[in-house]
Structure 1
């Protein structure tokens, strides 16, 4: 089969990018002919399997003089928000992508087009290639954009409804797709999330030095809950029987979203009673090594679909403390049973991904309590992640 995969942003730097890349790897192993269209910068190094044709759409040059347009308002690289796009920028976006996609379609003659994010670019592909089979993947941030941004909302909804199939990570997104796009339930399939078991697995990397190691992986941003995490560490330090300063180490792996916000987070970390290290963006093997050296993975996020990092951390035998995000608890209990996961009640939310400030102190108290309980457990319990795989998702996508 000839498969064309399309994303408006980088194919390696976020959860959705990893999703695209891992599916491309699976289809390469199965012998399919493939091509990828993605929005990138000219200096980016794109890692795709040998033999996969890459059709870049370059931002910050030519007809696209602005940074990559990101599905999240804060991306781990320089980006433009969809809500800030002018009509001129939208036209430039559409013309640039359609020119490259048309070339890819003519040269590759795909049997199937896989579009990531149920948003503007996927709608354009559906509209301009009506005779091709086009499937769309929901990554949750698309639902948020539809709720928060007026950009071409009616056009996007209409074209998403016309997709041949729609894949969602879990039931919460299925309900969102039904409500926001009014898509046919028959077109929607829940496929979950995969992980790379060759990289993320248990091991003997844990240091026996009496230090509890906590790790966070993702964008270093307020909406990922990093500020609340640092404040919860101060709450934790005040708890009876809490770790002393030299018995706890916190490591943050990931790039900055908003640079000003990132600097604010660094300043907060400098005043934290426990050491907080900023590791920057890591490769998957580097991140797996950090997981295996750590005891507890934390995800205090205020908005996420089905976070890949949680699965990877569980595969590396981490205990997990995370926000009780919609739909995640049920999915993890079914897909990764026996893991040591503590869910923390969310703060009150508004506008999809913004916590009500007055409810944050109570959330941070709850998060500190969950951290303390996880620290006291002091054991590495293995979750059963055997039923989670990219191969399984790849097969379900191609199944008629």
Structure 2
């Protein structure tokens, strides 16, 4: 079998990029012949398994004279927002990707094209290669774009239902897809997510056992859409000695202005805050192992890999109770040590109502307090979650 995986953005950054890369690696272990088409810059290094051909589409170039598009409005690298794209920019995008896709499809002759995000590029591929089997992975940010902006909406709504199959991360997401697109139940498969068990695993005794300090970690874009401002304000509601707690923020900036605001909040926090920056997967695993509590106070998520990775490294989790995630985790990791916090009311898909944030931050602080006071983290079994399982399901 020959598979072509496609993404409009960088394949080695953000959750969807990790998802694509790990599926490619798992399929490679199964002996599947593969190639990847991805939107990158000439400075980017694309790390794929040996034997996987990469067909880059270069942004910030003569043919595509603007930064890589981002499915989120705030990406951990310089990016272009879909909401800001003009008709001319959309035309340049279409021409550049179809030129590379034509070459890749002619050479590779894939049996299946796996598209990441139910959005513009996937719609273009469905429209221009009607004889090919085209499957689409939903990553939630694509649904947010459809809900919040008008960019090529009619064209996308017309083409996405023609996909041969759509993979949803969890049941609630599947229902949301059906509200946006006229798609039948039989076209969809709930496929879940995976994690790299070779990297993310417990490696020793937590540092808190040695020095008594509770270490918390957040991993993701450093932005309020991920709840980082609220996390810092919630920490200030705790009443412990300064030396008792440390927070590590692992990830890159989204909006640079907001990032500076977050740094200012961190400077005024009653507990020390460490900005670890963008880190490798192996370094992130080390940080998870050093820490006791993983915190994800996001306003919007599909199915965050970071929760599973941190559980695999023996962390207790405090996170926002977002639609569908708690149910999926309860099914896949029923013994997971997780404390859920009810989110604030929202305006739109990922913008919290300002007047509801104080109550949310109070709930978050209480959950953090409970997580700190609890002694030993419950052991949990994450073996049912794997990229290999997802790869097998894709092939099936």
Shift of 1:140: 0.3
Give the Cα separation in 2 of the matches to 1:154 and 1:74: 24
Give the Cα separation in 1 of the matches to 2:74 and 2:379: 33
Shift of 1:394: 0.6
Deviation string, structure 1 residues 364-390 (Cα, Å, up to 9, x no partner): 000000000000002122221110000
Question: Which structure 1 residue ranges, 4+ long, deviate > 6 Å from structure 2?
Answer: none
**Structure 2 match to 1:225:** 227
Aligned alpha-carbon RMSD (Å): 0.7
Structure 2 residue 273 is the aligned partner of structure 1 residue 276? yes
Task: Give the stretch that moved more between structures: 176-185 or 127-136.
Answer: 176-185
**Structure 1 match to 2:4:** 4
Correspondences of 1:270-309 after superposition (within 5 Å): 270-309=267-306
Task: Pick closer, same or farther for the CA change 1:90–1:205 going to 2, 3 Å.
Answer: farther
* Structure 1 segments unaligned to the other structure (5+ residues): 238-242
Structure 2 residue 54 is the aligned partner of structure 1 residue 54? yes
Shift of 1:203: 2.1
Task: Give the stretch that moved more between structures: 373-382 or 160-169.
Answer: 373-382
Give the Cα separation in 2 of the matches to 1:396 and 1:15: 20
**Structure 2 match to 1:352:** 349
**Structure 1 match to 2:149:** 149
Structure 2 residue 11 is the aligned partner of structure 1 residue 14? no
Structure 2 residue 189 is the aligned partner of structure 1 residue 189? yes
Aligned pair partner of 1:377 in 374, 377, 381: 374
* Structure 2 segments unaligned to the other structure (5+ residues): none
Deviation string, structure 1 residues 309-348 (Cα, Å, up to 9, x no partner): 0000011110000001111111111111211100000000
Aligned pair partner of 1:212 in 214, 217, 220: 214
Give the Cα separation in 1 of the matches to 2:238 and 2:69: 38
Shift of 1:205: 4.8
SS in 1 for 2:183: coil
**Structure 2 match to 1:398:** 395
SS in 2 for 1:236: coil
Give the Cα separation in 2 of the matches to 1:148 and 1:6: 24
Give the Cα separation in 1 of the matches to 2:205 and 2:157: 48
Task: Give the stretch that moved more between structures: 202-211 or 334-343.
Answer: 202-211
**Structure 2 match to 1:240:** none
Give the Cα separation in 2 of the matches to 1:236 and 1:180: 41
**Structure 2 match to 1:368:** 365
Aligned pair partner of 1:267 in 243, 264, 269: 264
**Structure 2 match to 1:68:** 68
**Structure 1 match to 2:238:** 236
Deviation string, structure 1 residues 106-155 (Cα, Å, up to 9, x no partner): 11000110000000000000000000000000000011000001111111
Contact 1:246/1:274 (CA < 8 Å) preserved in 2? Answer: yes
